């Protein structure tokens, strides 16, 4: 019998950097949405091609993996979409790919999973992102939940309806009133509109050719969901579809949307070798499980866990990109950490209530915006991207600003 191989020498983790991120304009889901007759896989293919176009210094054969998330992995979002999208985008056939599903945190998980591979030394460069065509594939399409989930009372039936879980968060925290949520939502719309006017939102967008049997060919160049000029008074009169006399409305929650995002990640040493830009440096991340009935609180323990693991406190964080699935979920986070509803460090350019939330793609939108904000803020060292996740989870990623000036 052969002697066992000697254990590998201990290896140090490599620094992982976010190089760049792009996204399609986000559309409204449904038969009148801009992407109603556009395939989901074509959206993510467009994103991959744009990343390669913007970075000719990255030889396509140096991409070691393509990870693409989708919540509803059927139809044109199925068939191991990371691999098929890589082939359709023209990457060499030697470049592998895979699909990811962690519902809303799909793209976030695509990033953290492949980033871990980079840190370990399995990859040098990866492309990670997500796509969701909620018009073609509504969340839950084709699924068959085990009846024991409800019959054995593993979760309350409301846990399977995200809007009802948001109402449950309201119940648990009475201080999170509808009025506060409507005010937060109006500010999100205003901040996003201001960011578009100032050119902060736009450079990361990839124009997408669209087609319509009725209208012919078109070109999507801007987000479809935003409603600039939204007022608190207008929001106050909206219906509460998840509960009579409830608090969650179409105005203080993200809509149903279509869109794709993608980014390039690399080992810092490889980025410098190839001349790739370094947008931000990964510090660490954490995912947690919470009661599915109140999944909106997920970012709270996820952030606590991430901060504790990497020796930081909430006061060290200079910028927050929090996914706005529901206003109440963001406010629960802010209240827990003692931050004001209008804290200027939070969602500086608005959020998903304005621009949309195509489920699995949203994590990389948060990262792309944070990276671009870092470039403007050398006074900020750390930022986080965080989101709640369906079926009771939360995810938080901590990033370091490579432009930090040392607090000068």
Read off the DSSP letter of residue 161.
Answer: S
Coil vs helix vs strand at 316: helix
How many angstroms from the chain centroid is the CA of residue 92?
A: 27
- Asked whether 212 and 37 are in contact (CB, 8 A), the reply is yes
d(CA 279, CA 100): 24
Predicted confidence (pLDDT) at residue 1 exceeds the cutoff of 90? no
**What pLDDT band is residue 273 in, cutting at 50, 70 and 90?**
very high
**Distance from C-alpha of 80 to C-alpha of 263, rounded to nearest angstrom:** 18
Q: What average pLDDT score do residues 192-210 get?
A: 98
How far apart are alpha carbons 55 and 53 in whole angstroms? 5
Name 17's bridge partners: 266, 281
Kindly report the average pLDDT of the chain as a whole number: 96
Q: CA dist 117 to 162, 366, 368, Å?
A: 32, 21, 20
Of 9-18, 66-75, 98-107, 391-400, which range is least confident? 9-18
pLDDT for the residue numbered 3? 59
C-alpha to C-alpha distance for 210 and 208, rounded to whole angstroms? 6
Please say if 355 is a catalytic residue. Answer: no
Local confidence band at 76 (pLDDT 50, 70, 90 cut-offs): very high
Distances (CA, A) of 194 to 190, 226, 287: 6, 12, 32
Residue 247 tokens read as: 């608090």
**Is 336 part of the annotated catalytic residue set?**
no
CATH number for region 16-135+148-399: 3.40.47.10
* Three-class secondary structure assignment of 46-70: HHHHHHHHHCCCCCHHHCCEEEEEC
pLDDT score of 8: 59
The pLDDT value given to residue 325: 98
**Cβ-proximal residues to 206 (8 Å cutoff; 6+ apart), any chain:** 22, 23, 24, 25, 46, 47, 50
What are the b/e assignments for 4-26, b being 16+ CB within 10 Å? eeeeeeeeeebbbbbbbbbbbbb
Over residues 253-266, the pLDDT tens digits come to: 999 999 999 999 99
Is 104 one of the annotated active-site residues of the chain? yes
Q: What whole-number distance in Å separates Cα of residue 279 and Cα of residue 297? A: 29
Residues 104, 181, 263, 355: which is the catalytic one?
104
- Left, alpha or beta for 385 (phi > 0: left; psi -120 to 50: alpha)? beta
* Cross-strand partners of 312: none
Q: What is the pLDDT of residues 300-321, one digit of tens each?
A: 999 999 999 999 999 999 999 9
Question: pTM of this prediction?
Answer: 0.96
In three-state form (DSSP H/G/I as H, E/B as E, the rest C), the secondary structure along 204-220 is: CECCEEEEECCCEEEEE
pLDDT at 407 over 80: no
**Burial zone of 362 (CB within 10 Å; 0-12 exposed, 13-18 middle, 19+ buried):** buried
Query: What beta strand segments (E) does 134-279 contain?
Result: 208-212, 216-220, 257-267
Q: Output the pLDDT for position 2.
A: 57
State how far the Cα of 27 lies from the Cα of 258, in Å rounded to an integer. Answer: 5
pLDDT category at 4 given cuts 50, 70, 90 is low
């Amino acid at each position: 019998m052969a002697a066992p191989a000697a254990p590998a020498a201990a290896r140090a983790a490599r620094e992982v950097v976010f190089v760049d991120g792009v996204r399609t304009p986000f559309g409204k889901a449904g038969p009148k949405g801009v992407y109603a007759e556009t395939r989901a896989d074509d959206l993510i293919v467009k994103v991959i091609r744009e990343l390669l176009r913007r970075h000719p210094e990255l030889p396509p054969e140096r991409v070691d993996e393509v990870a693409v998330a989708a919540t509803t992995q059927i139809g044109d979002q199925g068939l191991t979409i990371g691999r098929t999208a890589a082939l359709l985008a023209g990457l060499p056939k030697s470049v592998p790919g895979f699909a990811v599903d962690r519902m809303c945190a799909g793209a976030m998980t695509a990033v953290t999973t492949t980033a871990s591979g980079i840190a370990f030394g399995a990859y040098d460069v990866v492309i990670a992102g997500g796509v969701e065509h909620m018009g073609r594939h509504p969340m839950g399409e084709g699924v068959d939940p085990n009846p024991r989930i409800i019959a054995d009372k593993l979760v309350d039936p409301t846990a399977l309806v995200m809007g009802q879980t948001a109402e449950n968060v309201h119940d648990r925290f009475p201080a999170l009133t509808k009025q506060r949520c409507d005010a937060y939502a109006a500010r999100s719309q205003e901040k996003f509109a201001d960011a578009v006017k100032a050119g902060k939102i736009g450079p990361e967008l990839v124009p997408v050719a669209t087609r319509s049997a009725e209208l012919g060919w078109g070109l999507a160049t801007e987000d479809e969901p935003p409603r600039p000029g939204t007022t608190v008074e207008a929001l106050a009169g909206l219906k509460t579809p998840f509960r009579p006399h409830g608090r969650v409305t179409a105005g203080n929650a993200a809509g149903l949307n279509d869109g794709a995002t993608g980014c390039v990640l690399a080992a810092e040493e490889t980025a410098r070798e190839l001349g790739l830009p370094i947008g931000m440096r990964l510090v660490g991340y954490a995912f947690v499980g919470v009661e599915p009935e109140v999944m909106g609180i997920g970012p709270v323990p996820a952030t606590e866990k991430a901060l504790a693991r990497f020796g930081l406190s909430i006061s060290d964080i200079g910028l927050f990109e929090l996914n706005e699935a529901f206003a109440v979920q963001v406010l629960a986070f802010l209240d827990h950490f003692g931050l004001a509803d209008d804290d200027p460090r939070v969602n500086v350019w608005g959020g998903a209530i304005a621009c949309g939330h195509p489920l699995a793609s949203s994590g990389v939108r948060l990262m792309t915006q944070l990276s671009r904000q870092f470039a403007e803020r050398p006074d900020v060292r750390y930022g986080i991207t965080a989101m709640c996740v369906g079926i009771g989870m939360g995810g938080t990623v901590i990033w370091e600003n490579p432009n930090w000036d040392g607090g000068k």
